[in-house]
């Protein structure tokens, strides 16, 4: 007798640098407005707002980027370049001082956003899923293990669209660094191996169109290329 009543699907996963192994993706947590300049450009106040989070489905991951279809029901597709944390050890209410012990590695990713749908949801006090959690909305690069690169707390984070630099910041500009994010998030959810955390984007977000080519990265972590088709 078959175990499932409908055909099952492959587990979403990301390649791990230097190995033939894959990192299975369980959940995707995303931090909003984690760079002061970006918080201001989005109308927020970085000095008073605590961290907040939203989610994307695991199957929104696009390993190593590539061609991304322009999503339906939007006229304002936006990019957000981010450092991504891959959790390798679970835990709840994780102390800040031991938070990095839970990190398997790091990658770079794009939080693609249907900005017009997100704005409409904000205006009406509705959930963000239509604007954030659509198909192929989370291209993510190969993961670099922390055992190889350590835990980057500074370094350039950047994005080009058609060869023009649009975002150019530094990880040191995060309002809540990675240990703070893990400690705070683990009070809301029990983190598990396979979780990804998008850590926020620097200033310079904007819209993209079909045929646009995006390339971005984080120093010592990696880079990613995406084409909107």
Whether residue 114 lies inside any domain: the answer is yes
Q: Is the pLDDT of residue 2 over 90?
A: no
3-state secondary structure of 10: coil
Domain that holds residue 199: 13-228
Q: Is the pLDDT of residue 45 over 80?
A: no
Whether residue 198 lies inside any domain: the answer is yes
Whether residue 211 lies inside any domain: the answer is yes
Is-contact 71 135, C-beta < 8 A? yes
Whether residue 3 lies inside any domain: the answer is no
CATH number reported for the structural domain that contains residue 30 in this entry: 3.90.850.10
The pTM of the full predicted model, rounded to 2 decimals, is: 0.94
CA distance 144 to 85: 10
Could you tell me the two tokens for 141? 């690069």
Whether residue 69 lies inside any domain: the answer is yes
Whether residue 4 lies inside any domain: the answer is no
Could you tell me the two tokens for 124? 């009406």
Is-contact 204 82, C-beta < 8 A? no
Whether residue 18 lies inside any domain: the answer is yes
Q: Is the pLDDT of residue 222 over 90?
A: yes
> How many structural domains comprise the chain?
1
User: 68-95, pLDDT tens digit by residue?
Assistant: 999 999 999 999 999 999 999 999 999 9
Q: What is the mean pLDDT of residues 192-197?
A: 98
């Amino acid at each position: 007798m078959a175990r499932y009543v409908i055909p099952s699907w492959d587990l979403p996963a990301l390649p791990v640098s230097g190995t033939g192994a894959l990192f299975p993706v369980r959940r995707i947590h995303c931090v909003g407005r984690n760079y002061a300049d970006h918080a201001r450009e989005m109308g927020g106040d970085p000095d008073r707002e605590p961290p907040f989070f939203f989610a994307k489905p695991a199957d929104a991951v696009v390993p190593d980027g590539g061609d991304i279809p322009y999503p339906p029901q939007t006229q304002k597709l936006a990019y957000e370049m981010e450092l991504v944390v891959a959790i390798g050890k679970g835990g709840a209410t994780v102390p800040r001082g031991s938070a990095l012990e839970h990190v398997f590695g790091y990658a770079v990713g794009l939080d693609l956003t249907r900005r017009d749908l997100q704005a409409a949801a904000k205006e009406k006090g509705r959930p963000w899923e239509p604007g954030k959690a659509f198909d192929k909305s989370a291209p993510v690069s190969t993961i670099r293990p922390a055992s190889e690169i350590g835990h980057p707390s500074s370094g350039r984070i950047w994005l080009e669209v058609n060869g023009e630099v649009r975002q150019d910041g530094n990880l040191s500009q995060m309002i809540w660094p990675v240990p703070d994010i893990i400690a705070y998030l683990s009070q809301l959810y029990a983190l598990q191996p396979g979780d990804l955390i998008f850590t926020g984007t620097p200033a310079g977000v904007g819209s993209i169109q079909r045929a646009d080519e995006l390339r971005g990265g984080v120093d010592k972590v990696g880079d990613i290329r995406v084409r909107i088709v």
